[in-house]
């Protein structure tokens, strides 16, 4: 009975497709980087979660093996939510003074002291954090078989392809529209429906990682021995989903180059190299085909696509980058001073914009709504405690993907673990100079990559039952 509940005819089928639709929607309204847009995301996620729980309590669905394997990460996610809630909770003056003296000073003459210096924004970011946790949960409980995993992966690739085509067309045609609004900033470069080219680049890094993972999962096609068999197989390849997927990746690389994002392009190719090296070290089959794929990605994308669509401009931007031309290093220095004053518990999730002006020097003229460094922003907002919790979530999920790459023989699971590894590494690199994880569409997609690490480790895995015979975990 349970096995029938988790196949594609199960009652949660509609929830799964609604979840996939959410992933396509998120990048459309400026990467959901507007209060009204992320509110839509929150309501969407909450309704999906409530619906799944209703089915669960009616014994229509069951807990997946992926959810059970990721229980440590779920626990840390809960601790993260509890910690942010603690930032909003009135505490004794003595405790506030011990944890964050400046927070006590801020609230002493206004209201009961709390750890956050901006209750409104921290409350909003707590709700946003809850939606990310639930996205992770939904991915684990809704992706219950191989077909759903492939549908989710192709959904992400489709979304990335749409963003790439839209961004490239807008740039090459000089129409320059974002989400139904004419662009004011980042003219002449691809932004898709995002506000910033760097955020489109971050989104493409992750969706291309999933696409490459799907390509790796499809490796191993035989080309036959005779000339006729080879010709037929090549013809089939040209008409296959694999060829369409490869063309999609080329289009996405074109858009990535057209963003002229320095770290976006760097993070993509560095993460491809690192994940490829890990995959080859752990690979037990199809090593030659994987090597050919990875080499073709680099040669075609850099030497051909890049030369036609402006990789030289990205190179020039990298060469012209210096401490004299950038003010991000000064912002980082001032932010470090801010972090030193709120070292343990932070100033409140999302409060960077409210607190940073007190530390900003006269050489910084523009407003800084977000830091161009996710690590420092999380450090200033949530302190050492928050960094530890987020680090545990990311590192444990990355380790799960690495274990899947080492242990699993299933091509699809190996491909999805590759996607998880590459996408996580890409964003970790890019986050050192940008704030992709402050953009709801990118943060939610990153959470999906974290979930893919656990799904690729657990989905369909065979293990011994009590009698010593192998059985398949659902």
pLDDT tens-digit readout, 370-417: 788 999 999 999 999 999 999 999 999 999 999 999 999 899 999 999
Q: For residue 50, how many other CB atoms are within 10 A of its CB?
A: 11
Exposure string over 289-311, b if 16+ CB within 10 A, otherwise e: bbeebbeebeeebeeebbeebbb
Please report where in the chains the tokens 């800084």 appear, as a residue: 368
- Cα(177)–Cα(184) distance, integer angstroms: 9
Three-state DSSP class for 175? Answer: coil
Residues 6 or more apart whose CB falls under 8 angstroms from that of 278 comprise: 402, 405, 421
What are 279's two structure tokens?
A: 């995959």
Contact predicate 385/83, CB 8 Å: yes
Specify the pTM.
0.88
Distances (CA, A) of 87 to 76, 98, 254, 388: 17, 14, 43, 16
Taking alpha carbons only, the member of 354, 349, 346 closest to residue 380 is 346
Three-state DSSP class for 472? Answer: strand
Contact predicate 15/45, CB 8 Å: no
Please report where in the chains the tokens 């004011």 appear, as a residue: 184
Burial class (CB in 10 A: 0-12, 13-18, 19+), 341: middle
Contact predicate 346/390, CB 8 Å: no
Domain map (residue ranges) of the chain: 2-220+230-461
What are 458's two structure tokens?
A: 């657990």
In terms of phi and psi (left: phi > 0; alpha: psi -120 to 50; beta: otherwise), the region of 276 is alpha
User: What tens-digit pLDDT sequence spans the chain (474 residues)?
Assistant: 344 444 446 899 999 999 999 999 999 999 999 999 999 999 999 999 999 999 999 999 999 999 999 999 999 999 999 999 999 999 888 999 899 988 888 887 666 789 999 999 999 999 999 999 999 999 999 999 999 999 999 999 999 999 999 999 998 888 888 888 888 877 888 999 999 999 999 999 999 999 999 988 887 544 445 555 555 554 455 456 677 898 899 899 889 988 888 888 889 989 998 998 898 888 755 556 666 667 666 666 655 555 655 555 545 554 555 444 455 667 888 889 889 999 999 999 999 988 988 887 766 656 556 788 999 999 999 999 999 999 999 999 999 999 999 999 899 999 999 999 999 999 999 999 999 999 999 999 999 999 999 999 999 875 433 333 444 443
- Cα(433)–Cα(449) distance, integer angstroms: 20
What are 121's two structure tokens?
A: 């924004």
Contact predicate 275/268, CB 8 Å: no
Contact predicate 262/194, CB 8 Å: no
Three-state DSSP class for 182? Answer: strand
Cα angle 458-128-177, degrees, rounded to a multiple of 5: 100
Three-state DSSP class for 373? Answer: coil
What are 463's two structure tokens?
A: 């293990």
Taking alpha carbons only, the member of 34, 21, 50 closest to residue 438 is 34
- Cα(313)–Cα(171) distance, integer angstroms: 14
Pairing of the two strands 470-472 and 462-464: antiparallel
DSSP category for residue 471? E
Three-state DSSP class for 216? Answer: helix
Beta bridge partners of 282: none
- Cα(425)–Cα(406) distance, integer angstroms: 17
Contact predicate 140/64, CB 8 Å: yes
pLDDT tens-digit readout, 115-135: 999 999 999 999 999 999 999
């Amino acid at each position: 009975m349970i096995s029938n509940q988790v196949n594609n005819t199960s009652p949660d089928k509609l929830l799964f497709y609604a979840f996939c639709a959410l992933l396509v929607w998120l990048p459309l309204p400026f990467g959901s980087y507007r209060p009204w847009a992320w509110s839509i995301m929150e309501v969407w996620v909450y309704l999906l979660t409530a619906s799944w729980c209703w089915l669960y309590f009616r014994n229509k669905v069951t807990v997946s093996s992926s959810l059970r394997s990721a229980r440590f990460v779920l626990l840390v996610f809960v601790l993260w939510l509890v910690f942010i809630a603690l930032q909003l909770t009135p505490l004794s003056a003595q405790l506030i003074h011990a944890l964050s003296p400046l927070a006590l000073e801020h609230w002493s003459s206004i209201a009961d002291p709390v750890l956050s210096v901006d209750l409104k924004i921290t409350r909003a970011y707590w709700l946003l954090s809850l939606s990310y946790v639930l996205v992770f949960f939904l991915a684990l409980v809704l992706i219950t078989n191989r077909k759903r995993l492939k549908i989710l992966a192709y959904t992400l690739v489709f979304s990335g392809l749409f963003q790439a085509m839209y961004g490239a067309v807008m740039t090459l045609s000089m129409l320059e529209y974002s989400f139904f609004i004419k662009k004011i900033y980042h003219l002449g470069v691809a932004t898709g429906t995002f506000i910033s080219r760097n955020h489109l680049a971050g989104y493409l890094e992750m969706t291309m990682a999933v696409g490459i993972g799907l390509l790796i999962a499809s490796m191993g096609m035989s080309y036959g021995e005779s000339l006729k068999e080879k010709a037929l197989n090549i013809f089939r390849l040209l008409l296959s989903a694999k060829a369409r997927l490869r063309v999609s990746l080329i289009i996405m690389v074109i858009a990535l180059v057209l963003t002229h994002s320095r770290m976006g392009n760097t993070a993509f190719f560095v993460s491809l190299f690192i994940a490829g090296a890990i995959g080859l070290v752990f690979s037990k089959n199809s090593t030659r085909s994987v090597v050919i794929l990875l080499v073709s990605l680099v040669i075609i994308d850099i030497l051909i696509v890049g030369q036609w669509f402006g990789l030289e401009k990205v190179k020039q931007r990298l060469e012209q980058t210096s401490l004299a031309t950038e003010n991000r290093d000064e912002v980082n220095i001032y932010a470090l001073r801010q972090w030193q004053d709120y070292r343990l518990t932070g100033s409140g999730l999302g409060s960077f914009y409210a607190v940073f002006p007190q530390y900003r020097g006269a050489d910084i003229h523009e407003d800084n709504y977000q830091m161009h460094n996710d690590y420092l922003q999380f450090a200033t907002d949530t302190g050492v405690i928050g960094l530890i919790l987020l680090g545990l979530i990311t590192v444990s999920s990355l380790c799960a993907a690495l274990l899947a790459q080492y242990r699993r023989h299933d091509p699809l699971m190996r491909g999805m673990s590759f996607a998880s590894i590459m996408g996580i590494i890409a964003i970790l690199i890019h986050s050192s100079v940008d704030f992709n994880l402050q953009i709801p569409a990118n943060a939610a997609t990153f959470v999906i990559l974290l979930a893919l690490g656990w799904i690729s480790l657990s989905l369909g895995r065979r293990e011994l039952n009590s009698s010593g015979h192998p059985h398949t975990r659902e």
